[in-house]
Amino acid sequence: MIMNNKIGFIGLGIMGKPMAKNLIKAGYSLVVYDLVQQAMAELWNAGAEAASSPASLASKVRTIITMLPNGPEVREVVAGSGGILEGATAGSIIIDMSSIAPGVSQEMSRLCKSKEIRFMDAPVSGGEPKAIDGTLAVMVGCDEDDFEPNVKLLKAMGSSVVRTGEVGSGNVTKLANQIVVAINIAAISEAYVLATKAGVDPVLVFDAIKGGLAGSTVMNAKTPMILDRNFKPGFKIKLHIKDLANAIETGHQVGVPLPLTSAVMEMMQALKVDKKEELDHSALVQYFEKLAMVEVTR
């Protein structure tokens, strides 16, 4: 039997797990699914119900949230064997919070619509720290009528929830976000390497410029990690590579060259070759450090 007060949540990784926990804290009843049994057990201990498959989960709820690595995983979970569409009833809604190519979101929306199921793309920004404290920025692409009824739910996970247009626009916005973040990290990395090699303390450089025009949320979040050599992943390089690949692909599709994005993509590819793709994207500094043969630290 479908319980209208229950929410389904599929994908309990670095981001999905704390997001799901915040929904429980906000008073929602959850049914969860993930390929990793340990992740499901952790949510079960927090009060969630575990499902045996995406289809089983979808049969128990009207609202299904997905938080998955990329487009192929979204396709599989939504439309594959044992997927959401096998269990969901007409009138259900899928809120895909994964960061994927906008075209995949639109493809899934068309497929869902043929089965009278609504679809939203609602990717997030903020990384693991903001997923944990529930202050993510949520970028929503959906039919206008679907937005307001789901704002409260989304605000249990994020402090900013903005509808950017129809389905697909959420992920276009997320790609724009990821371009800005990647280029910001590259810029501060290059700057700190210059300062260090020139004999100026990067801590003092940060203190001097963070309140001026160069200051940014990215600088404030990533500089302490760089200075402390703390590259524990809040957002892995390999995931940023995925996002930039989607950005470049989308740019090619709509006729927009992305020269800066492509340059940072190759820097991250170099780190991947160096077997550093599992590190936080703040480890981009190591690309510049290798070129200059210097290490940025306190």
Please give the C-alpha separations between residue 104 and each of 71, 94, 263, in angstroms, as whole numbers.
6, 14, 25
12 Cα distance to chain centroid = 12
Active-site option among 17, 21, 130, 174: 174
Spatial contact of 128 and 15, defined as CB atoms under 8 Å apart: yes
Q: What is the DSSP letter of 71?
A: H
Residue 259 CB-density burial (10 A; 0-12 exposed, 13-18 middle, 19+ buried): exposed
Spatial contact of 85 and 112, defined as CB atoms under 8 Å apart: yes
User: Token pair of 77, please?
Assistant: 């979970």
Q: What is the DSSP letter of 92?
A: -
Spatial contact of 93 and 120, defined as CB atoms under 8 Å apart: yes
Pick from 180, 191, 185, 176: nearest CA to 281: 185
115 Cα distance to chain centroid = 27
At 65, which amino acid appears?
A: I
174 has catalytic annotation: yes
Q: What is the DSSP letter of 89?
A: P
Catalytic positions, please?
Answer: 174
